């Protein structure tokens, strides 16, 4: 940036300041006695560029106005790489502050309007802001000291500022990660405590379901036993009279079979003796008997006796078949009836209900809590009445004695037990079984409710575990991100140290170019520590010395060389095109000889630092320097035009 003109009204000392046609190269010398307005020129330029001055902060802008005036304005024309700009700024007593930036040839169409917009646009054009400006190109009237190594300006010049900005961002993110992790850890710990208080036992649901299924199978088996018992009893009751009738018919058939056998034997024998052995004495006796007993007996009837024997033989066979048929039917009915014996054995195998004694501690606690809740909701008297009724029911329903069972089973096996006897036993046994099945069903439903509750607990545990796992995953992610940030900070610190080291080395080399000129060759080498502490090499002592070991004039020469080196560094790093520098009283406390050498050095300082404004009360005579422009200020004048 090269200043081409400065016009201001009511800024600090001057009611009117008009500096036009300012040379783009060379030294612009500003001179005058104390309080003549020399520094006002630099402060006016600073106010035009940044809306503030070195000596007045943003909160003291009203002091920029000339005493007694209500408003002030400044118009600064400058060029950057061949492009001319016009910057105007206005301020009044009421705090109204405006700024406008436009191309010099097109002021009607500003490129930026407003304080903030102009500031952003100027940074894009110039490449620096106020802090870098006052640490490099603008040496206000003050003691020349070593720049602070941790200032934003120096860090920006060194290229460390972006790295530190990233490090600060990472540190802020780490703090956020730590805060978020603490919150997540607290939330996870609360959930873990809740999970622990649930006293959840892994595998308890499976065990509970197994017991429920076993109880269901037992209930079904008991119901099947009752149904089989009743069905077998019905079969026995139905078959028992049929068996008796079948056995009775079999007995009668056997009797008639025997009788037919005897008659067939008599008839056949008589026919054989009379027809085949008539000469036998027994045959004669039989014939004589028939003649006496049968009226009108005729020998022609003898064949009929044989036929009668055959008929009785056939009848014997028929009665034999009938007896076998009734016997077979009786046997079949008896076999069907004997199913009752198996049913009695299976029913008797059902053990008395004693409750589920296999409860775990967790189930016991839960059931006790459920019982307490139920008891709290029910009326005590009603509960007592129900308990008494249940006790009476249990006393009334007694199971048949074992001896009665054994006796009945033996008689049933032989199908000798009467239907009424069997019915009495079966009804009593069935009532007893149903009562115990009912109690087992109640326990089954209780187990079902417990399974439902435990399933809900399992789902709740799963949800809590899932949430805890999610929180732990987030915490792990935060830890990983934190470690990444820490590693990045470590790398950035290494890069920052490397950049700072190179920066100090470059500054040292740049100072080495101007320091011999400023000190007439007495001092040539500097050592600049990371904290910008400067030590100068003394040829006489052949060692580096601290600045407090040299004269104040030499100290200022060294500091001026250091400031100019910072300016050149900023030029290389951030600034495009040529640049101006404003040095307010840089030679204060310099003797004339040092001032001459300093002026000479400034003329050949840099190819890019081409326009140098120098403020001094007087300039030594005989200085081998030709000023591009000289501006003389007067304490008695509030108008300056050059």
Structure tokens at 131: 């802090």
pLDDT in tens, 154-186: 666 667 778 888 989 999 999 999 999 999 999
Whether residue 122 sits in one domain with residue 252: no
Q: Is residue 288 part of a domain?
A: yes
* Domain limit, last residue, from 417, 452, 474: 417
Q: Is residue 118 part of a domain?
A: yes
Q: Is residue 218 part of a domain?
A: no
Whether residue 261 sits in one domain with residue 408: yes
With 50 as the cut, is the pLDDT of residue 214 above it? yes
CB atoms within 10 A of CB 485: 19
**CA distances (Å), origin 411, targets 284, 296, 385, 406:** 58, 59, 43, 9
Whether residue 294 sits in one domain with residue 411: yes
Whether residue 405 sits in one domain with residue 259: yes
pLDDT value at position 567?
80
Q: Is residue 608 part of a domain?
A: yes
* Domain limit, last residue, from 417, 443, 468: 417
Q: Is residue 180 part of a domain?
A: no
With 50 as the cut, is the pLDDT of residue 624 above it? yes
Q: Is residue 618 part of a domain?
A: yes
**In this structure, what CATH number is given to the domain that contains residue 638?**
3.40.50.300
Owner of token pair 């004269």: 551
What DSSP assignment string belongs to 620-631?
-TT-S---SEEE
From the list 598, 578, 622, the residue with the least C-alpha distance to 23 is 578
Whether residue 407 sits in one domain with residue 279: yes
pLDDT in tens, 336-389: 888 888 998 998 888 876 664 444 444 444 445 544 554 444 444 444 444 434
Q: State how far the Cα of 166 lies from the Cα of 496, in Å rounded to an integer.
A: 11
Whether residue 96 sits in one domain with residue 243: no
pLDDT value at position 380?
41
Whether residue 96 sits in one domain with residue 234: no
Reported confidence tier of residue 633, pLDDT bands at 50, 70, 90: very high
- Between helices 204-271 and 361-377, what is the axis angle to 10°? 90
pLDDT value at position 80?
93
The number of domains in the chain is 2
Q: For the chain, give the percent of residues with pLDDT over 90.
A: 38
Whether residue 234 sits in one domain with residue 90: no
Q: Which range of residues forms the domain containing residue 119?
A: 1-127+578-642
Mean of the per-residue pLDDT values for the chain? 84
pLDDT value at position 630?
92
pLDDT mean over 389-399: 53
Q: Is residue 532 part of a domain?
A: no
pLDDT value at position 529?
66
pLDDT value at position 366?
46
Beta strands in 483-552 (DSSP E): 526-528, 534-538, 543-546
Higher pLDDT, 543 or 268: 268
Whether residue 280 sits in one domain with residue 403: yes
Q: Is residue 405 part of a domain?
A: yes
Whether residue 245 sits in one domain with residue 118: no
* Domain limit, last residue, from 388, 417, 446: 417
- Cβ(261)–Cβ(316) below 8 Å: yes
């Amino acid at each position: 940036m090269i200043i081409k003109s400065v016009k201001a009204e009511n800024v600090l000392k001057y009611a009117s300041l008009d500096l036009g046609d300012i040379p783009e190269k060379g030294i612009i010398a500003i001179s005058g006695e104390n309080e003549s307005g020399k520094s006002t020129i630099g402060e006016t330029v600073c106010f035009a560029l940044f809306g503030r001055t070195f000596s007045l902060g943003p909160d003291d802008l009203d002091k920029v106005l000339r005493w007694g005036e209500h408003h002030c304005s400044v118009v600064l024309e400058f060029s950057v790489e061949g492009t001319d700009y016009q910057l105007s700024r206005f301020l009044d007593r009421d705090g109204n502050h405006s700024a406008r930036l436009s191309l010099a040839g097109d002021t009607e169409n500003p490129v930026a309007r407003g304080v903030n917009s102009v500031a952003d646009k100027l940074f894009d054009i110039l490449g620096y802001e106020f802090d870098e400006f006052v640490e490099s190109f603008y040496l206000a009237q003050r003691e020349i000291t070593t720049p602070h190594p941790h200032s934003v300006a120096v860090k920006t010049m060194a290229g460390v500022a972006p790295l530190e900005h990233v490090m600060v961002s990472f540190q802020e993110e780490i703090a956020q990660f730590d805060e978020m992790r603490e919150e997540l850890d607290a939330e996870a710990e609360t959930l873990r405590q809740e999970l622990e208080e649930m006293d959840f036992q892994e595998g308890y649901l499976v065990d509970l379901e197994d017991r429920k299924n076993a109880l269901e199978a037992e209930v079904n088996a008991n119901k099947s036993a009752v149904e089989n018992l009743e069905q077998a009893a019905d079969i026995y009751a139905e078959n028992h009279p049929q068996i008796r009738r079948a056995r009775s018919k079999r007995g009668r058939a056997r009797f008639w079979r025997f009788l037919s056998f005897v008659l067939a034997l008599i008839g056949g024998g008589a026919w054989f003796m009379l027809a085949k052995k008539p000469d036998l004495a027994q045959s004669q006796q039989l014939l004589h008997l028939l003649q006496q007993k049968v009226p009108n007996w005729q020998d022609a009837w003898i064949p009929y006796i044989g036929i009668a024997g055959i008929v009785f033989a056939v009848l014997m066979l028929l009665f034999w078949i009938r007896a076998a048929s009734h016997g077979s039917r009786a046997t079949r009915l008896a076999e069907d009836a004997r199913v009752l014996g198996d049913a009695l054995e299976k029913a008797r195998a059902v053990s008395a209900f004693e409750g589920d004694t296999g409860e775990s501690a967790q189930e016991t606690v839960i059931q006790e809590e459920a019982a307490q809740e139920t008891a709290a909701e029910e009326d005590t008297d009603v509960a007592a009445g129900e308990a008494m009724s249940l006790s009476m029911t249990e006393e009334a329903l007694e199971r048949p004695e074992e001896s009665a069972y054994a006796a009945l089973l033996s008689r049933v096996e032989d199908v000798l037990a009467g239907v009424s006897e069997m019915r009495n036993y079966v009804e009593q046994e069935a009532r007893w079984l149903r009562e115990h099945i009912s109690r087992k069903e109640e326990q089954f439903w209780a187990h079902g409710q417990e399974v439902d509750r435990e399933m809900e607990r399992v789902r709740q545990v799963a949800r809590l575990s899932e949430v805890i796992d999610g929180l732990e995953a987030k915490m792990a992610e935060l830890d990983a991100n934190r470690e990444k940030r820490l590693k990045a900070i470590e790398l950035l610190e290494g890069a920052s140290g490397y950049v700072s080291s190179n920066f100090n080395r470059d500054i040292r080399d740049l100072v080495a170019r101007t320091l011999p000129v400023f000190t007439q060759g007495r001092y040539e080498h500097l050592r600049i520590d990371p904290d910008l502490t400067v030590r100068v090499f003394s040829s006489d002592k052949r060692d580096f010395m601290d600045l407090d070991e040299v004269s104040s004039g030499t100290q200022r020469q060294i500091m001026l060389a250091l400031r100019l080196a910072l300016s050149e560094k900023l030029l290389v790093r951030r600034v495009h095109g040529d640049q101006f520098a404003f040095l307010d009283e840089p030679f204060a406390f310099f003797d004339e000889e040092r001032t001459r050498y300093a002026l000479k050095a400034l003329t050949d300082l840099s190819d890019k630092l081409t326009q140098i404004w120098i403020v001094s009360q007087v300039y030594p005579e005989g200085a081998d320097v030709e000023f591009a422009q000289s501006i003389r200020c007067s304490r008695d004048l509030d108008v300056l035009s050059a």
